[in-house]
Amino acid sequence: MLGQGGLDGLASALLRGRGFAHKRDISDVVSALSAALPGGTAALGQAVGVGDDCAAIPDGDGGYLLFAIEGFVDDFVQRMPGSPAIAA
């Protein structure tokens, strides 16, 4: 079992890791895009259902528009520049 000190150390290591750093990059994009919402960033919480890779935006006709974005890790792109995922 992980004690409090071990849990704190684990949380600290995760926060310093690349995975979380890349999510912070994405948050900059979300902040810039949310500025275009009628209520600005304050409307972001309920106006658009934001998921990990996609947002479902009500289209006004009972359906949804899907807005998706994917970020790539630089060293992955450098190692596999011809990857089908990158070409898409």
59-80: pLDDT as tens digits:
889 888 888 876 666 776 777 7
So what's the pLDDT on residue 57? 81
Output the pLDDT for position 31: 77
Sequential DSSP letters for 24-85 = HHHHHHHHHHHTTSTTGGGGHHHHSEE-SSEEEEE-SSS-EEEEE-----HHHHHH-TT-HH
Residue of higher predicted confidence among 25 and 46? 25
